[in-house]
Structure 1
Amino acid sequence: MLIQNNMTPTSFADHIDITAGPGMGTRGSASRSGSPGGVVDIISKVAPKDHNVLNYTQTFSGRGSFRESVDASTRFGENNTWGVRVNGAFQDGEQVVPDEKNRVKDIYVNIDHEDNRSKTNILTGISDGHRWKETRMFNFANYTGTKLLKTPSIDKNYAYPDNEWGVRTFLFTMNHQQKLTDHMELFANYGYAYNKGYAYTVKGSWSVLDEEGNFASSKSSSAPYALRNRFLQGGLKADFNIGETNHELVVAYDTSSMDGLWDNETRDGKPIKLPGGNIYDFPDMPSGVIPNHGVKLTGSTNSYGISAVDTITFNKWILVGGVHHHRMSYGEFGGDRVVSKATSPLWGVVYKSNENLMFYGNHSEFFDKGTFLSDKQYVNPGILPPAKTKQNEFGVKYMKNRFLTTLSFFDIQTERTFTYDLGREDEKKLAVKDGWNKYRGVEWTVNGKIAPKWDVIGGISYLTTEQKSQDFYNGKALNGTPKWNAVLGLIYKPNEDVSLIGRMQFVGATSFYTNNHVSIDVPSFTVWDFGAQYKTKAFNTPVTFSAMCHNAFNRAYWNFNGSNGFLSRPRTFVLSASFDF
């Protein structure tokens, strides 16, 4: 329901659930582009049943960014069946990069009701996020060098003066469960979100040309927009026994839609021309904002789906089997539409050898809605056919005494959409669907208590990628995809009031191809973060002081995705004080 970006509101979030594999079959048909690897659910905070919440937190970060947040809850009614929780936040100020600013305002209300026969949760609220002068991406598709140039200063701002992005969001969701019997219940889920990009004057990246750091002249874009999302799902859950097997059956129907609205007059207007220069001696950029003429309905996506999944338990075995059928319709307003439909199987198996050890495997398949190509950005406007994803995973999990470790092997195939940068003056690109991208790898994760005063969270993964196509890239690895990734976090608690935190993130070496088919190596990098937390009382009020230092050694590095290199952010301090009244 929300736009996936760095302004997604989080003040109402209690935790995040990630569903992958067969479990995605009952999550509904999303109106999305790109083949999903999983579904992310943001679980809202609800009013606790045993106490009321009243918390105030003040946070400082960067060069002068202050954030205030309030969290309050109460319960009422017979047996406290009703609960209300309110979360609000305000943030404003300069980030760690000079002249980069961020302002956030949001307020969300969660209302829940639970009795012996039903459970209902309603979340609604508004948020407003606005960012200025934030550009850290450099494109190397037209790079003529043979080795990657060194990073420029990570303490400088590389945006042009009027770079800004503002998004205002209204959100409403409702979830309801109604018991019919002790073994059967109905459920319904509804969501509506309106995301309005009221300020959108950006330059996404600079095109780096050579090892000396020269970059090409270009233009900014200004295109206010809005996205309207709706989702409705209803279904039945039932559990029953057949012989010695227990069954948990879920049958669901869902429908969703997404309307895209754009400021067409602005998009057709004259862009702001930006001069070329050198990233080591970044030039002054001209200012200017194209007027906002409002938004008009441009295109829409509608999807419908039905799914049935049965989870069967028998002795030490858990078997999951199901099917998901969906239909999607996608097109421009008043124009032709592309309709796709498919039936996708899904299955999984779990074997619990004992109370601590289990083995598992699963298979799932999904389609996206197709990709819209506008005539403003592509030389081949229209709609690309829906892309299919196939996922296979198997592994082993071990849990004992609050410690969990998982070893998993995975094989994922996604249909390949490739975008060619043609080097045109109007910056239009060519997008085609051609072959498959294959991902194969192994991942080992650990999480939990390893000693009386020590907790650990982390993992290491090895990934190989391959492109299957009819062009130069056939058989080659995906651009900017490292084989090795690792993260390790340690928490030391000398007593109940003090916590010391250390975290290491490692991203292995990778490479990418330029448009001239020259392979450029990208070195690995390691980033260290350190922090501490102290719990005490101030005037009989519990307070928690926290301090965190990100990129503690101020490491400068390139982090690549495809042929785009993202410049690291400098060392950042975050300080906070949280009061529980």
Structure 2
Amino acid sequence: MHHLRSSKLLPVNRHTFQLPPLRIAISIAFTGLSVAHASTALAADQNIQQQVYQYNIDAGPLAEVINLFASASGLALTFEADTLKDIQSQGLHGQFTIQQGFSKLLSENGLQAVKSDDGTYIIKKRSKSSSTEKPATLPEVAVKSKADSGSGLQPAYAGGQVAKGGKAGFLGNKSIMDTPFNSTSYTSQTIQDQQARSVLDVVQNDASVRVVSPQSNGSEVFYIRGFSVSNQDISFDGMYGILPYWRGSVAAAERVEVLKGPNAFLNGMAPSGSVGGAINIVPKRAEDTPLTQLSASYISGSNFGGQVDFGRRFGPDNSVGIRVNGVYRDGDTNRTSQELGETAIALDYRGDRGRAWIDVGYQNLQTDKVEGLMGLATNASVPSPPSASKFYYQSWTTWKNETTYGVVHGEYDVKPNLTVYAAAGQRHFRDNYLFPFGFGLTNQGSFTEGFARASSWYDNTSSEVGLRGQFETGSVQHRVNIGLTSFNQDSGVKSGVVPTHASNIYNPTDIAEPTMASLGHIPKTGQLDLVSMAIADTLSMFDDSVQLILGARKQQVDVDAWDITTGAKTASYSRDAVTPAVGVVLKPVSNLSLYSNYIEGLSQGPVPTPTAFNNTQVFAPIKSKQFEVGAKYDFGKLMATISLFEIKRPSGFTDPATNIFGVDGEQRNRGAELNVFGEITENVRLLAGGMLLDAKQTKTQGGTFDGNYAVNSPKFTANIGTEWDTSFIHGFTVNARVVYTDAAYIDAANTQKIPSWTRFDLGARYHFKAGEKPVVIRANIENVFDRSYWMSSSLYRGNPRTLTLSATVNF
């Protein structure tokens, strides 16, 4: 029997609140599948039955919907396996008591929920005497929180900072305990409470993720398990190529999901070939409760902004929904200047058998005083960075980009156990940049400042179609998915030349902006096509206590390039590869999950150097291979996960003896991860983790660097974040976070490295009412002690001390 409990989330009262404003606001912040849990005390059952709760559970098989309802309400539930078989439900959306919820879900199917003496609810067929009869003894079916079909979100875990599960790519939405991978889904509550501006601000909660570039740069790059993941490989609701190419806002994000390790089977080959992990953005959808929320914000310096979040549902059973998010910010921060304008509109329809979603968005982002990477001179040691707020590049540098996108998703239940789905989306991206970079940095801080000047465009089309179904062979249940994906990216990049000059990071040289002619028309210079077919079967036995996931994906990769001046084709690449995956989940008890996986990553095959003997050879996509084992333990309100992994990624080089280029290099990353999140007590929350990493160069050119540590791979990283709802002021919460990153080498020879660094962040928020309107005031300070540190091998500096303030009002 699985009995979920929560004493943190609060019921919704239709009229007045006499509860602390903080707890009310936390309940409101649970967008998506926000639910208010019942008290754990069975002695207070009478009050529980009369309380009203907010539910947002999507349509699907009744067994799955009732499981989500029970999990969200903190109930124990049993039913005969055949009682709910082949019955579909419209889901549950709105405010209901527990009995109203049961009635809404069950009555139309001739079913009812009868409560036994021990508090367990039993689902059975309705009879005339059912209101008074004692329930018979029935075979028990343990309740599990599932959201394997459709776009239904897993509910938030205790504390509300992360969810109980997320999208595992091709396998769909799965609970943490049923996923044979290490993944974390950060909720909209975390995004809002931390005043996150982009993915960068969200994923820095994870000790296995380190950000390479700061907010003062025009792009975002991450390292997950010691391998890079670029912003262009972030997916939108599971689809590549929809979000802005370099950096995107999270104003309209319901969840930011991080899956660690190679994932070609789960998500297909990423456009840039990232293998360290996957990041997925889940968009906000309209809830049954009307929402009109306005926010004002400030970022230290003189950056001011505002945001609106509007949601409504219409039609029979609230079947049609609209969610609109808009944000605008502009002004200087401590080291740069940014202007952001964004609009995101999400429409959805949920019917008896069909569901559809439409997302359209626009983003315009301009960053002035851009900070670029810095290269160290040969044989030089890394100098101490200047003051964290000091800007040592030219103030006239800029990075402008504009993005428009649209996506349509749909699915239809052909039968209760068979669903067809399809999706298609497009993105138009344009940018124009003139950003600086440094090279030849000496011990004294001298360097040469250069500039990258270019205009570019990237037009993408992404689509998928598939079939998802369930069937049984004896006592084994199968969940099968067959799908096709297609990704196309046409691009054009045209660059210009800007003279270099000498400068110093401690005493920079300012020069006048040179006069530069327009780059003019930008023809098509590149094309990338990724087409794949995948199949997966999840075999479940013994009431899901044993699960085996088998799957494979065949990926076709086609790349073409053209000369910017002559239009002649300069490169053509066409290869395919098959990437299998195996995952196992064992649950000896309901709150312990043991898992293991073998999965591969996929990147475009390397190109031989022009001077190599075989410089015309085309190599197949390279496969990164991961073996992982782990355990996840749910203490009820606190969850701990531990993972052990090994990833091997091939690379190419030219053999100095034969002058033949081959895929003979290799980097091997071994590591151990620990993550803990949830509630320590009713008023204290924890979001923490650590990673030990042994990243080695195991095969290098001529064996020169064999055994050396890999670049940009700290041996230890850790995060500890806590929140405390104070007892002395109702509605007042304080939070703190410590981020530690060990020293890391920045060259393959291991002669140059950046020192370790520790950053301290503090924050507070206050929930109260202005009249009848809930108001939240938030304040966060990143890098409280204003420490200046090199954050990565690219010699980017961490952000200076930065204060963010916001005020949010719900109407």
Query: What TM-score does the superposition give when structure 1 sets the normalisation length?
Result: 0.89
1:41 matched to 2:267? no
Question: Partner residue of 2:480?
Answer: 249
- Shift of the alpha carbon at 1:290? 4.4
Whether the aligned pair in 2 keeps the contact of 1:249 and 1:309 (CA below 8 Å) is: yes
Whether the aligned pair in 2 keeps the contact of 1:226 and 1:261 (CA below 8 Å) is: yes
Question: Partner residue of 2:503?
Answer: 277
Question: Partner residue of 1:425?
Answer: none
Distance in 2, matches of 1:220 and 1:275, equals 10
Amino acid at match of 2:272: S
1:503 matched to 2:737? yes
1:174 matched to 2:404? no
Question: Partner residue of 2:100?
Answer: none
Over 3 Å counting, the alpha-carbon distance change for 1:580 and 1:439 in structure 2 is same
Question: Partner residue of 1:526?
Answer: 758
Question: Partner residue of 2:624?
Answer: 389
- Shift of the alpha carbon at 1:221? 2.2
Question: Partner residue of 2:518?
Answer: 291
Whether the aligned pair in 2 keeps the contact of 1:404 and 1:448 (CA below 8 Å) is: yes
1:220 matched to 2:451? yes
- Shift of the alpha carbon at 1:371? 6.2
- Shift of the alpha carbon at 1:15? 0.8
Higher strand share: 1
Q: Deviations over 1:374-415 (max 9, x none)?
A: 99xxxx999876332112211100012221100100111122
Whether the aligned pair in 2 keeps the contact of 1:274 and 1:286 (CA below 8 Å) is: no
1:492 matched to 2:724? yes
Secondary structure, aligned partner of 1:529: strand
Match of 1:323 among 534, 545, 552: 552
- Shift of the alpha carbon at 1:435? 0.8
Distance in 2, matches of 1:115 and 1:459, equals 41
Over 3 Å counting, the alpha-carbon distance change for 1:451 and 1:417 in structure 2 is farther
Over 3 Å counting, the alpha-carbon distance change for 1:371 and 1:131 in structure 2 is farther
Distance in 2, matches of 1:235 and 1:469, equals 42
Distance in 1, matches of 2:672 and 2:517, equals 48
Max Rg structure: 2
- Shift of the alpha carbon at 1:285? 2.5
Secondary structure, aligned partner of 1:79: helix
Over 3 Å counting, the alpha-carbon distance change for 1:172 and 1:488 in structure 2 is same
- Shift of the alpha carbon at 1:433? 5.8
Structure 1 runs of 4+ off > 6 angstroms? 371-375, 380-384
Over 3 Å counting, the alpha-carbon distance change for 1:414 and 1:211 in structure 2 is same
Question: Partner residue of 1:200?
Answer: 433
1:456 matched to 2:686? yes
Higher helix share: 2
Question: Partner residue of 1:56?
Answer: 294
Question: Partner residue of 2:420?
Answer: 186
Amino acid at match of 1:150: S
- Shift of the alpha carbon at 1:432? 8.9
Question: Partner residue of 1:551?
Answer: 783
Amino acid at match of 2:779: A
Distance in 1, matches of 2:525 and 2:263, equals 33
- Shift of the alpha carbon at 1:103? 0.4
Q: Deviations over 1:470-510 (max 9, x none)?
A: 24222211123110000000110125612110000000122
Whether the aligned pair in 2 keeps the contact of 1:35 and 1:389 (CA below 8 Å) is: no
Amino acid at match of 2:709: A
Aligned alpha-carbon RMSD (Å): 2.4
Over 3 Å counting, the alpha-carbon distance change for 1:381 and 1:498 in structure 2 is farther
Distance in 2, matches of 1:24 and 1:367, equals 6
Match of 2:747 among 473, 494, 513: 513
The more displaced of 254-263 and 112-121 is: 254-263
Distance in 2, matches of 1:385 and 1:276, equals 43
Whether the aligned pair in 2 keeps the contact of 1:35 and 1:414 (CA below 8 Å) is: no
Whether the aligned pair in 1 keeps the contact of 2:262 and 2:624 (CA below 8 Å) is: no
- Shift of the alpha carbon at 1:451? 1.4
Question: Partner residue of 1:402?
Answer: 637
Match of 1:104 among 299, 322, 340: 340
- Shift of the alpha carbon at 1:157? 1.2
1:570 matched to 2:775? no
Amino acid at match of 2:682: P
Q: Deviations over 1:255-275 (max 9, x none)?
A: 111111123xxx2x4x22131
Over 3 Å counting, the alpha-carbon distance change for 1:215 and 1:551 in structure 2 is same
- Shift of the alpha carbon at 1:20? 5.2
Q: Deviations over 1:269-307 (max 9, x none)?
A: 4x2213112211111133134423132110101121111
Match of 1:125 among 361, 364, 367: 361
Point out which structure has higher relative CO (alpha carbons under 8 A, 6+ apart). 1
- Shift of the alpha carbon at 1:313? 0.7
1:300 matched to 2:527? yes
Q: Deviations over 1:75-113 (max 9, x none)?
A: 11111100011111111000111xx21000111110000
- Shift of the alpha carbon at 1:150? 1.3
1:152 matched to 2:152? no
Amino acid at match of 2:513: S
Amino acid at match of 1:38: G
Whether the aligned pair in 2 keeps the contact of 1:222 and 1:290 (CA below 8 Å) is: no
Distance in 1, matches of 2:618 and 2:498, equals 28
Question: Partner residue of 2:216?
Answer: none
Over 3 Å counting, the alpha-carbon distance change for 1:40 and 1:155 in structure 2 is closer
Unaligned runs of 5+ in 1: 420-430
Query: What TM-score does the superposition give when structure 2 sets the normalisation length?
Result: 0.65
Over 3 Å counting, the alpha-carbon distance change for 1:383 and 1:101 in structure 2 is farther
- Shift of the alpha carbon at 1:136? 5.3
Distance in 1, matches of 2:767 and 2:354, equals 38
Whether the aligned pair in 2 keeps the contact of 1:24 and 1:39 (CA below 8 Å) is: no
Over 3 Å counting, the alpha-carbon distance change for 1:520 and 1:340 in structure 2 is same
Over 3 Å counting, the alpha-carbon distance change for 1:399 and 1:512 in structure 2 is same
Match of 1:66 among 304, 307, 312: 304
Over 3 Å counting, the alpha-carbon distance change for 1:356 and 1:23 in structure 2 is farther
Within 5 Å, give how 1:351-366 maps onto structure 2: 351-366=586-601
Distance in 2, matches of 1:159 and 1:13, equals 33
Distance in 1, matches of 2:511 and 2:386, equals 18
Amino acid at match of 1:196: R
Question: Partner residue of 1:14?
Answer: 254
Question: Partner residue of 1:343?
Answer: 578
Q: How many residues align?
A: 548
Over 3 Å counting, the alpha-carbon distance change for 1:417 and 1:536 in structure 2 is farther
Within 5 Å, give how 1:413-452 maps onto structure 2: 413-416=648-651, 435-452=665-682
Distance in 2, matches of 1:291 and 1:372, equals 32
Match of 2:349 among 113, 117, 123: 113
Whether the aligned pair in 1 keeps the contact of 2:263 and 2:601 (CA below 8 Å) is: no
Whether the aligned pair in 2 keeps the contact of 1:508 and 1:523 (CA below 8 Å) is: yes
- Shift of the alpha carbon at 1:437? 1.4
Question: Partner residue of 2:375?
Answer: 139
Secondary structure, aligned partner of 1:297: coil
Over 3 Å counting, the alpha-carbon distance change for 1:152 and 1:290 in structure 2 is farther
Unaligned runs of 5+ in 2: 1-240, 563-567, 655-660
Distance in 2, matches of 1:34 and 1:176, equals 28
Distance in 2, matches of 1:506 and 1:297, equals 44
Distance in 2, matches of 1:110 and 1:352, equals 38
Distance in 2, matches of 1:175 and 1:368, equals 27
Over 3 Å counting, the alpha-carbon distance change for 1:118 and 1:241 in structure 2 is same
Distance in 2, matches of 1:392 and 1:68, equals 46
Secondary structure, aligned partner of 1:223: strand
